[in-house]
Amino acid sequence: MRIGVFCSGGDSPGMNACVRAVVRTTISLGHEAVGIYDGYQGLLDENFYICNGSAVMGLRSVSNIISRGGTILRTSRCKEFATPAGLKKAADVLVKHKIDALVAIGGDGTIRGCMALGKQWSGKIVACPGTIDNDLLGTDYTLGFHTAVTTAVDAVDKLRDTAESHQRMFLVEVMGRHSGYIALYTALAGGAEVACLPETLTDLPGIKCQLEGLKGRGKTSIIVVVAEGDEAGGAAKLHQSLTDAGCAFSGRVVSLGHIQRGGSPVVADRILGTRLGDFAVRAILDGATGVMAGEVGGKMVLTPFEQTIAQHAAVPDELVRLLETMAN
Ligand code: F6P
Distance CA 129, CA 140 (A): 10
| 65 alpha carbon – ligand 1 mean position (Å) | 23
**CA nearest ligand 1 atom 3, residue:** 10
Nearest Cα residue to 183 out of 135, 226, 224, 140: 226
Q: How far is CA 60 from the centre of its chain?
A: 27
Distance CA 127, CA 116 (A): 13
Judged by DSSP in three states, 120 sits in: coil
Active-site residue identified among 38, 133, 135, 278: 133
Taking residue 175's Cβ as centre, other Cβ atoms within 10 Å add up to 24
Rounded to 5°, the CA angle 310-315-318 comes to 135
**CA nearest ligand 1 atom 11, residue:** 10
With a Cβ cut-off of 6 Å, ligand 1 is lined by 10, 77, 107, 131-133, 175-177, 228, 261
User: Phi and psi (nearest 5°) for 227?
Assistant: -75, 140
| Interval 298-302 mean pLDDT | 98
| 260 alpha carbon – ligand 1 mean position (Å) | 10
Asked which of 48-52, 86-90, 146-150 is least confident by mean pLDDT, the reply is: 48-52
Nearest atom (ligand 1) to Cα of 135: 1
- pLDDT tens-digit profile of 47-64? 999 988 999 999 999 999
Our answer to whether residue 135 is catalytic in this structure is no
Res 86: pLDDT: 98
| Interval 131-147 mean pLDDT | 98
Decide if pLDDT at 328 tops 90: no
Res 260: pLDDT: 98
With pLDDT > 90 as the criterion, what percentage of the chain qualifies? 99
Which of 108, 111, 177 best tests ligand 1's pocket when mutated (most atoms within 8 Å of CB)? 177
Nearest Cα residue to 221 out of 256, 195, 252, 262: 252
Res 266: pLDDT: 98
Amino acid at 289: T
pTM of the model: 0.97
Is residue 305 within 8 A of residue 291, CB to CB? The reply is yes
